[in-house]
Amino acid sequence: MSAADAQARLIELRRELAKHAYLYHSLDAPVISDGEYDALWRELLELERQYPQWRDAQSPSQNVGAAVRQDLATVAHQTPMLSLDNVFSVDEFRAFDLRVRERLGRSGDIHYICEPKLDGLAISLHYRGGRFLMAATRGDGVVGEDVSASLAALASVPAQLQGEELPHELEVRGEVLMPRAAFLRWNEQAQEEGRRVFANPRNAAAGSVRQLDAAIAAERGLEFFAYAIARCSAPLPDSQHAQLELCRRWGFQRAAHIAQGEGAAFCEQHYAALLAARDGLPYEIDGMVVKVDALSEQQVLGMMTRAPRWAVAWKFPAVEVETQLLAVDWQVGRTGALTPVAHLQPVSVGGVTVSRASLHNIDEIRRMDLHVGDQVLLYRAGDVIPKIARSLSQAVPAQRLPITLPESCPVCGAPVLRPVGEVVARCSGGLYCPAQRLEALTHFVSRKAMAIEGLGEKWLALLVEQGKIRHAADIYRLQRDSLLALDRMGDKLADKLLAAIAASKATTLPRFLYALGIRSVGESTARDLAMSFMSLDALMQAREEALLRVPDIGPVTAQWIVSFFSQPHHREIIDELLAVGVHWPQPQAQQTLAGTYVITGTLQSMSREQAREHLLRLGARVAGSVSAKTAALICGESPGSKKTQAERLGVAIWDEDTFLQLLRQSGASL
């Protein structure tokens, strides 16, 4: 891998891991397995080790958890809630043990405590005067979510600590989880009653806690297990094991199978015993946590950015079973991506019956040489949809059926495109494909597209569900009565939405092109297309050769544009949009400004979005950061660091009066 490729891969890994951390920690909706996440994580750490010059303080490797949910109240942790580093093999664990001994200057064995790694939601409980005060999630390690109401309802969370001589201030940390029996019972009832079925106990626990409804937390059988004391106003024993015993005496429950002993060999033996006992435990665990038992030694070892040096999580391998691949269907996602889904001979994996699994994409199918009829190895590690690891024994050649990528969308029949160099195949019927309908409509009304203020995804979903909107042109046919029929829609809001819809009819050609949601056509490309072809008709008739002459348009984008406008359904929707009154002025060919401009600070005469629109109409490009290639920085009040950067690079700096003078000279309407 070249240095440039490594840097690009680092950026991609950080983006992917941040996305999956948010899905897992904040939304309780993971879309990849723990094993896949761990593989991405280890790849990131290795690249950051090889290229220390590209380390970034915002990297997931330097942060804990994920951002807190915006719909929940927040709590600042007085002591950060750190994560744990992971190891996956005996050799990696022995390397951890060696680092501990070297840092402590010890030649002999370290006294360790081994605890099950509970697969739940990390929680901090606060007590004052022995009484429960509040509870918070880990969040990003510094700020968590206030979930006091949910935790107060659990029988395993003492409302009043037991014993005498209680500390005035106490913070106990642990894990809230849903036992397997409660999980299975809930899902069985949910299936019978047509309610939501949880993917796994961890998601069930996290989702239940974040409901902030004490009744929900109690009825779903959640339990809290203490694993550490974070703060205490009274002296504490110098031992993790003794502190856990103190928690037990105060009334908290601890996990079973906790053991303490000397050296790495003891930990390895207990890991093997815990792995063997895993399936018989009443709750899910996904590994073993090993901690230096003496708190005085923990203090010597200290902390890294996101994890302590005195503890590590030794992860279990993913649960794997053998079954048969019976068939493959292709699902179409909100963005048009086609995902192959395997239909399997039903089999129990980790206590859950599985009959479907994700196959990622056609390249992955070919890499594994998968055919319908094959025996396959299936694994599940806290996953929403388990994955096929590999093909095992193959069926008789005559009984093996090849898996091929569909030529047309299984939902709408539009051509399926997979440009050279792209991994994902997509349906090209973006404006009319039912699978993509909500995504296409949400994009169409967005601020930088048709800018229909107030008509967000929630209202669009209701209108689509009730059959009032099938495609974009139907938005302009909405009547007041149709809106008022929606739950929680009042007179004022309905009138406001109708006014916003009517106002959006007057737009610009670049905005309209962007609103159509053509794959690879962003704001800048839409503006370049409008200025190059000057009319929608000319663009719709353009061939790939003509499109390739437009700046920054390559073969893949040209292919998507031609495919989009060649489909009769798309042309019909465009004709309907024009028929209901969507219009724009003729684009002006003049190019008053060349180069890239950046806007910073607060402008008095207009918003920054309006200033951006003026610049785009004059032929300029607008960027979000200053570089040596920036033509000028337009400064309002309180410009911040961008002005400092511009001064350092010698970039021209315009105040608002200079910018307004340029706009007046160009004939812009202010």
The rounded distance, in Å, linking the Cα atoms of 557 and 548 is 9
Within 10 A of 105 (CB to CB), how many other CB atoms are there?
7
Residue 20 lies in a domain: yes
Q: How confident is the model at residue 662 (pLDDT cuts 50, 70, 90)?
A: confident
Q: Is the pLDDT of residue 92 over 60?
A: yes
286-313 burial, b for 16+ CB within 10 Å, e for fewer?
A: bbbbbbbbbbebbeebeeeebbbbbbbb
pLDDT confidence tier of residue 440, bands split at 50, 70 and 90:
very high
Q: Is the pTM of this model over 0.75?
A: no
User: Are 274 and 204 found together in one domain?
Assistant: yes
* In-domain check, residue 410: no
Q: How far apart are CA 117 and CA 283, in angstroms?
A: 11
Is 627 part of a structural domain of the chain?
A: yes
CA atoms within 13 A on the CB side of 212: 11
CB atoms within 10 A of CB 21: 20
Same domain, 275 and 218: yes
Specify the number of domains making up the chain.
5
- The answer to whether residues 284 and 334 belong to one domain is no
pLDDT of residue 383: 42
Q: Are the C-beta atoms of residues 156 and 84 closer than 8 Å to each other?
A: no
Sort 88 into a burial class: Cβ within 10 Å, 0-12 / 13-18 / 19+. middle
Q: What is the CATH number of the domain that holds 357?
A: 2.40.50.140
> pLDDT, tens digit, for every residue of 365-374?
888 889 999 9
Instruction: Find the mean pLDDT for residues 334-347.
Output: 89
Q: Are 278 and 338 within one domain?
A: no
Q: Which of 19, 117, 291, 458 is catalytic?
A: 117
pLDDT tens for 511-545 read 999 999 998 898 888 988 988 888 999 999 999 99
CATH number at 505 reads 1.10.150.20
As a whole number, the mean pLDDT across the chain is 86
Q: Is residue 422 one of the residues assigned to a domain?
A: no
Q: Are residues 648 and 633 in the same domain?
A: yes
Q: What are the contacts of 526-531 at 24+ separation with CB within 8 A? A: 527/616, 528/552, 528/553, 529/553, 529/561, 530/587, 531/587, 531/589, 531/591, 531/619
For residues 567 and 617, membership in a common domain is answered with no
- Shared domain check, 173 and 99: yes
Residue 443 lies in a domain: no
Q: What is the pLDDT of residue 181?
A: 86
Pair (191, 263) in one structural domain: yes
Do 129 and 98 lie in a common domain?
yes
What gap in Å lies between CA 13 and CA 147, rounded to an integer? 31
Q: pLDDT band for 384, please (50, 70, 90 cuts).
A: very low
Residue 390 lies in a domain: yes
To the query of whether residue 117 is one of the catalytic residues in this protein, the response is yes
Longest CA span, the chain: 84
Q: Is the pLDDT of residue 251 over 90?
A: yes
- Nearest CA to 563 out of 547, 579, 576, 575 is that of 547
Q: Of the residues 585, 605, 621, which one is the last residue of a structural domain?
A: 585
In this prediction, residue 130 has a pLDDT band, given cuts at 50, 70 and 90, of very high
Domain that holds residue 50: 3-62
- Domain termination site, one of 585, 604, 626: 585
Pair 234, 154 in one domain? yes
Do 207 and 309 belong together in one domain?
A: yes
Among 309, 273, 314, 262, CA closest to 290: 314
Q: How far is CA 26 from CA 140, 204, 221, 521, in A?
A: 9, 13, 21, 31
Q: Is 138 helix (H, G, I), strand (E, B) or coil?
A: coil
* CATH number of the domain to which 610 belongs: 3.40.50.10190
Residue finishing a domain among 585, 614, 639: 585
